[in-house]
Amino acid sequence: MGRKWVGTGWKMNKLLAEAEAYARSLREFVDGHAPEIEVFIVPPFTVLRRTCEILKGSPVKVGAQNMHWEERGAFTGEISPLMVKDCGADLVELGHSERRAQFGETDYTVNRKVLAALGHGLRPLVCVGETGPEKAFGVARECVARQVKIALKDVPESRIGEVILAYEPVWAIGESGTPAEPDYANSVHGVIRDAVSGLYGSRAAGEVPVLYGGSVDAENGPLFVREKEVDGLFVGRAAWDVRGLIRIIEAVQGESRGRPRGHEGPAP
């Protein structure tokens, strides 16, 4: 795996002026510092086009938070792959645990959306992760492997390198979340890698970035990316202020260069 990844999903936050200010500041930062990190942001639909416009031509990728799998039709309130593409997006987040828990998203609908995304030149960013009870009952690994295998069903081997996976244990996300221990995250990332490898072989599995998400910040971020199987971070709250995202990018950059920041200790 090459560069590390750092991205944020804004969830249901930011009006147009806030989105514009964030995107402009991020653009200024990447233009000035050229971080050797793959950076992405995932705004709400209402500001997606404008965010894409501001970041056009920069290395920052922009994604939608969800989409329907059909191109058009009688699906009131839904957004199609054509519409997401038309906004200028590069990727689409699919299967976030909030969508699974609150909006009826299933492994099977995630799979339809993954195939639709690839069919329209959008990189699918697929979120997987066990709930607290699933962890407590000792089935986290089975749960995550199942989610990955179903999400990737019928994805051709030639396209697997376009998929991005995010391991987001449900118990680690949000206000009430506790970040996973980095070695625990690493072991589940290994399960995810093995699931992809079982479908496509180990070389292809090595092409799929597997990001960790769940109460990440600039202090603990470097501890996650230090782990062998963790290719980057998917961040919520700590990156909703652009300065937070920049701090995390800098911390990961420092860790990747062997100069850890934000915590004590020698370079690995």
> What are the φ/ψ torsions at residue 93 (nearest 5 degrees)?
-80, 135
Return d(Cα 165, Cα 182) in angstroms, integer: 17
Which residue has the CB atom at the shortest distance from ligand PEP?
A: 236
Tell me how crowded residue 9 is: count the other CB atoms within 10 A of its CB. 25
Give the helix ranges, DSSP H, for the chain: 16-33, 48-55, 81-86, 97-102, 107-119, 132-136, 140-151, 182-200, 202-205, 221-225, 242-256
- Tokens 């639909």 belong to residue: 45
Nearer to ligand PEP, 13 or 58 (CB): 13
User: Smaller CB distance to ligand PEP: residue 224 or 234?
Assistant: 234
120 catalytic per annotation: no
Q: Are strands 4-9 and 37-42 parallel, antiparallel or unpaired?
A: parallel
Least Cβ distance, residue 94 to ligand PEP (angstroms): 12
How many residues line the site for ligand PEP (CB under 6 A)?
14
Decide if residue 173 touches ligand PEP (CB under 6 A). yes
Q: What's the distance, CA 194 to chain centroid?
A: 19
Min CB(115)–ligand PEP separation in Å: 23
114/200 with CB nearer ligand PEP: 114
Nearest approach in angstroms of CB 215 to ligand PEP is 4
Q: Is residue 9 part of the contact set for ligand PEP (CB under 6 A)? A: yes
Cα 89 from Cα 143, distance rounded (Å): 30
Report the candidate in 229, 127, 146, 226 with the shortest Cα–Cα distance to residue 187: 229
Q: Which residue is catalytic, options 168, 227, 229, 250?
A: 168
- Catalytic residue, candidates 68, 96, 120, 189: 96
Q: Which two tokens stand for residue 50?
A: 């404008």
Q: Active-site residue 219, yes or no? A: no
Q: 207 or 217: whose CB is closer to ligand PEP?
A: 217
Measured from the CB atom, the residue of 9 and 262 that comes closer to ligand PEP is 9
Among 132, 174, 182, 244, binds ligand PEP (CB under 6 A): 174
Residue from 7, 63, 81, 177 touching ligand PEP (CB under 6 A): that is 177
* Least distance between ligand PEP and beta carbon 138 (Å): 23
63 binds ligand PEP (CB under 6 A): no
CA 187 to chain centre: 18
Q: DSSP letters along 232-244, please?
A: EEEESGGGSSHHH
Residues 192 to 251 in contact with ligand PEP, rule: CB under 6 A: 213-216, 234-238
User: Which residues are at the interface with ligand PEP (CB under 6 A)?
Assistant: 9, 168, 173-174, 177, 213-216, 234-238
Residues with catalytic function = 96, 168
